[in-house]
A = this chain, B = another copy of it.
């Protein structure tokens, strides 16, 4: 079994040298931003993930969560690990200090999330969901609800869930049927919810469900859905946990992966109605849910490359120990790492993860800057962050799956044997491109709401940023192949977005949504890589620093751009020339099995 080692040096380099963590002074008090505090948190996190979370990961896969007598039991060790997680204060890292949180930057939190997910994705889903619920309550609930629920949720004493999906309402939430009927100060909730992550478990004293439901007189569709807090146990006047609410755990799903994360079917109101409390205004539930959802989408993007990091580490360790055949240039059998094709494959994996990490951390910094005290900084960050969220979610999870796939390949036959452990990452990762909106949903969001709606206005600002980075790189005489390839990728992206914005056939445009998302993912990670190269270029002339670290980084970043960015031009060709799918009618006959 392979254990996780947090890539602290890579993480710290990105945070401090590339993204300027300490300079987020328009968003946070300076004393929260010290490099020392940041690094000590990261080091503690590394220790916790390496020693507590990682050793439980395979155990969780084997044992899974179990349901008996309407109560879910988590895998051995999970309860104790959660206790330690809560006691160390990890749960409230970015939450509001008003209710006991530490109010630290999202950028720092992104790095801790990466480590948690890499070490144990199934475990980390619980705090991930709790955080989403906290954010929705912070954003929209009245002060009485906040005081009742937030302190215990931020400390981690209670956990949270998101209850969106119903059998007929998955990607399309307008089809939600769960009912909410007013009853005094609160509501009675009746209906069935599926795919509820940590919908029941034994880790915490209480579980706070955030549930989408429909009032009897609500308008049809998406504008008639309200959001409710529905706790597993009702909360007494004094804040203590009271009697059980009318919620049943009907069953647990038998899933391809993340076995230790209980995915529940929950039934509300079998005894007449579960007690719920309205969050925000009636019929405005979807807006609030999207607050949670955007945070969750970002986190799932992090999850995508985090689990890939773990898979890569396992593959690297195996490639360093498994001897097989005599590599080119050697005269004896060496570890397979020394075969050129294996080396290239491993390098691709590492650099792809690196690029996704940079993209996600950059997006996290933008989430921080949305709180800037400077209006223009705040607005720019908000625009760009909205544009990038579907790319973070879609691109990082697709790449993450490719990395996990390829990590099995490095193991050869051993990768297909479950005991090796690498198959688990491959299975676990498979959900990341699906939940919190499939890649297709992200791609449609990117194309429709983020590019077509403002006719590419924000996108063009991003293109201008990339242009200026390229100008700096040209002035500094950086690697010409790198600059050419990124320039070509940028031209291709400008060309194709202009083409799509001005095309008048919607069906054709959306048929290429997935291609556009991947193209943008390559372009943005290529651009961020060039930024990172510029930092390395400055650093490596400083002899006081570890020059080999920066030299290697530079080589790797050049490699990433040259290896991957030529795809952008190919994707442009594909999108522009492939207009065969220009009308819904054409598709059915082409797809028939004959």
Chain A contacts to B: CB under 8 angstroms: 5, 7-10, 165, 168, 170-172, 174-175, 195, 253-257, 313, 316, 323-325, 327-330, 333, 337-347, 350, 401, 405, 408-409, 412-413, 415-419, 423, 426-427, 430-431, 433-435, 438-440, 443-444, 481, 485, 506-514, 548-549, 552, 555-556, 558-559, 562-564, 566-567, 569-571, 573-574, 577-578, 580-581, 583-584, 586-591, 593-594
Query: B419 near A343 (CB under 8 angstroms)?
Result: no
Complex interface: chain B residues within 8 A of A257 (CB): 416
CA distance A130 to B101 in the complex (A): 65
Query: B566 near A514 (CB under 8 angstroms)?
Result: no
CA distance A415 to B440 in the complex (A): 15
CA distance A416 to B256 in the complex (A): 5
Contact of A511 among B344, B570, B588 (CB under 8 A): B344
Query: B344 near A416 (CB under 8 angstroms)?
Result: no
Instruction: Tell me the nearest residue of chain B to A6, going by C-beta.
Output: B593
24 of the cross-chain contacts (CB-CB < 8 Å) are: A172-B333, A175-B324, A256-B417, A327-B584, A329-B506, A329-B584, A337-B588, A340-B507, A343-B581, A343-B587, A347-B587, A347-B591, A423-B430, A481-B577, A549-B594, A555-B580, A555-B586, A558-B580, A559-B578, A562-B580, A564-B574, A569-B569, A569-B570, A570-B570
Contact of A417 among B10, B254, B405, B509 (CB under 8 A): B254
Complex interface: chain B residues within 8 A of A566 (CB): 569-571, 573-574
Contact of A165 among B413, B563, B581, B587 (CB under 8 A): B413
CA distance A316 to B165 in the complex (A): 22
CA distance A343 to B510 in the complex (A): 10
CA distance A559 to B591 in the complex (A): 13
Q: Tell me whether A426 and B580 are in contact in the complex, defined as CB-CB below 8 angstroms, given that A341-B514, A587-B343, A594-B7 are known contacts.
A: no
CB proximity of A563 to chain B, nearest CB, Å? 5
CB proximity of A6 to chain B, nearest CB, Å? 9
CB proximity of A534 to chain B, nearest CB, Å? 18
CB proximity of A565 to chain B, nearest CB, Å? 9
Complex interface: chain B residues within 8 A of A339 (CB): 440, 510
Query: A412 near B426 (CB under 8 angstroms)?
Result: no
Query: A345 near B430 (CB under 8 angstroms)?
Result: no
Query: A419 near B254 (CB under 8 angstroms)?
Result: yes
Complex interface: chain B residues within 8 A of A580 (CB): 555, 558-559, 562
Query: B430 near A412 (CB under 8 angstroms)?
Result: no
Contact of A426 among B165, B256, B549, B591 (CB under 8 A): B256
CB proximity of A229 to chain B, nearest CB, Å? 24
Instruction: Tell me the nearest residue of chain B to A10, going by C-beta.
Output: B594
CA distance A343 to B324 in the complex (A): 44
Q: Tell me whether A511 and B341 are in contact in the complex, defined as CB-CB below 8 angstroms, given that A409-B438, A434-B409 are known contacts.
A: yes
Q: Tell me whether A346 and B562 are in contact in the complex, defined as CB-CB below 8 angstroms, given that A416-B434, A485-B577 are known contacts.
A: no
CB proximity of A545 to chain B, nearest CB, Å? 14
Query: B439 near A409 (CB under 8 angstroms)?
Result: yes
Instruction: Tell me the nearest residue of chain B to A484, going by C-beta.
Output: B577
CB proximity of A283 to chain B, nearest CB, Å? 20
Instruction: Tell me the nearest residue of chain B to A448, going by C-beta.
Output: B328
Q: Which of A256, A327, A485 has the most CB of B within 10 A?
A: A256
Query: B512 near A344 (CB under 8 angstroms)?
Result: yes
Contact of A333 among B5, B175, B345, B409 (CB under 8 A): B175
